[in-house]
Amino acid sequence: MRILITAQAIYSHLAPLVLPVAERAQEAGHEVAVATGADVVQHIEERGLTALTLPHMPSMGEALRDGTIPPPPGMEKAGSVTVELAPEFFAAAFVGHLASASVPDLLDVAKSWQPDLILHESTEYGGYLAAEILGIPHGALDIGPMAPYAHPAVTEELNRQREKFGLAPVTDAWHPFRAFRAGVVPEDFYPTDSRLPSGRYYQVPAGAAPGGLDPEIAGLDTDRPLVLATLGSNATRLPGGAHTLLDTIIEALGELPVTGVVALGADRDPKQWDGPRRDNVHLTSFVQQELLLRSSDLFLTHAGFNGTREALAAGVPMVAVPLFAEQSHNASRLEQLGVGTRMNVQDVTRDALAAALRNVLDDRSYRSRAQGLQRRSHALPDLGRLVEDAAALAA
């Protein structure tokens, strides 16, 4: 079977699920190609996979920089306040501009490559539209369960795009996901109103960190709980680089009887760090997050979905400080499930953050519920089953 997978030209949309699924499908004997924008093609080819470049698909960053997509409301304050994801922005950017730009290229690719099945990562609507136009079976790889897929603004924009490409309108907000939706967290992570009959849930295999864990981190004090803190790869691009927030995180960890590890960002040399330093807090530019989470007692996170998924798979409770995008919704869901607590950026002070960290560490129920989700994560079938289930759509 020939399986075409489509993804936004954003590495964080590609790496956690699209690439592992493509690899498993290829191992299962299918012909597989990943179609996306030029910015991330090298990451596909480095994994020994076939990349099909969509020349007119911009990355979100490129579209924001050239003004094609207006910035999300409030984004100029990101890093100093939590910026909530506006459904209207999601609709206009992902369902509107980015999908519309990619559909003609995807139609050309599909006509020449002749896929039997199209899988699109959940924010990439061009693959869905191309599959609908060509009458090819399709399904979704859900990389962001808490995005506003069912909001009326999204359905309205979806129908604008359907009309543009000669398709009849739909009344079902979940139409792009109705045939097959592959999630990578247990079903109970999803709010009840977004649990679909087409939903199937799988576990992503833990990745191996090249070279193993950083020896400096491996040798840190083991007499106290380990708290890992990171704001993700995009934090340094925010106004002010979220520097003030990182300062506060380091100071708060310094107030607690813990061993802290703070990832400052890949382009920040800890030796050049001009912010606070504390004896019990190890500063690093990069950390092997998934590997270190397996021996962490608490995760201080911006609540991006990939890090959230990794922490749940490791049974680690969280204190979530969402920055932007759907991180706020992820953080609220963690709080609802009792596996973490949420703080908005504007509410973070040294004392308030230290109190939140202390509460989650001291209240064993957070850990117990996180471990319950961990067990349910480990009971899910692997990505080999995902490939089988997806291939059945075109059987």
Task: List phi, psi (to 5°) of 262.
Answer: -115, 120
Q: Are residues 21 and 88 located together in one domain of the fold? A: yes
Task: Please state whether beta strands 181-183 and 199-201 pair in parallel, antiparallel, or not at all (unpaired).
Answer: parallel
Q: Are residues 122 and 23 located together in one domain of the fold? A: yes
Q: Are residues 98 and 39 located together in one domain of the fold? A: yes
Domain membership of residue 208 (yes or no) is no
Residues in the chain: 395
**How far is 375 from 377, CA to CA, in rounded Å?**
5
Q: Decide if 104 contacts 112 (C-beta within 8 A).
A: no
Domain membership of residue 221 (yes or no) is yes
**How far is 232 from 308, CA to CA, in rounded Å?**
11
Q: Are residues 277 and 346 located together in one domain of the fold? A: yes
pTM here? Answer: 0.95
Q: Decide if 375 contacts 339 (C-beta within 8 A).
A: no
Q: Are residues 66 and 97 located together in one domain of the fold? A: yes
Q: Are residues 120 and 166 located together in one domain of the fold? A: yes
**How far is 333 from 146, CA to CA, in rounded Å?**
8
Total count of domains within the chain: 2
Domain membership of residue 209 (yes or no) is no
Domain membership of residue 324 (yes or no) is yes
Q: Are residues 177 and 255 located together in one domain of the fold? A: no
Q: Are residues 181 and 283 located together in one domain of the fold? A: no
Domain membership of residue 229 (yes or no) is yes
- Other CB atoms within 10 Å distance of the CB of residue 112: 8
Residue 139's CATH number: 3.40.50.2000
Q: Are residues 194 and 259 located together in one domain of the fold? A: no
The separation between the first and the last C-alpha atoms of the chain, rounded to the nearest angstrom, is 9
Q: Are residues 290 and 360 located together in one domain of the fold? A: yes
Give the pLDDT of the chain (395 residues) as one tens digit per residue. 999 999 999 999 998 899 999 999 999 999 999 999 999 999 999 999 999 999 999 888 888 888 889 888 888 888 999 999 999 999 999 999 999 999 999 999 999 999 999 999 999 999 999 999 999 999 999 999 999 999 999 999 999 999 999 999 999 999 999 999 999 999 999 999 999 999 999 999 887 666 789 999 999 999 999 999 999 888 888 877 799 999 999 999 999 999 999 999 988 999 999 999 999 999 999 999 999 999 999 999 999 999 999 999 999 999 999 999 999 999 999 999 999 999 999 999 999 999 999 999 999 999 999 999 999 999 999 999 999 999 999 98
Domain membership of residue 210 (yes or no) is no
Domain membership of residue 114 (yes or no) is yes
Q: Are residues 186 and 255 located together in one domain of the fold? A: no
**How far is 365 from 252, CA to CA, in rounded Å?**
22
Domain membership of residue 319 (yes or no) is yes
Domain extent for 343 = 215-378
Q: Are residues 353 and 387 located together in one domain of the fold? A: no
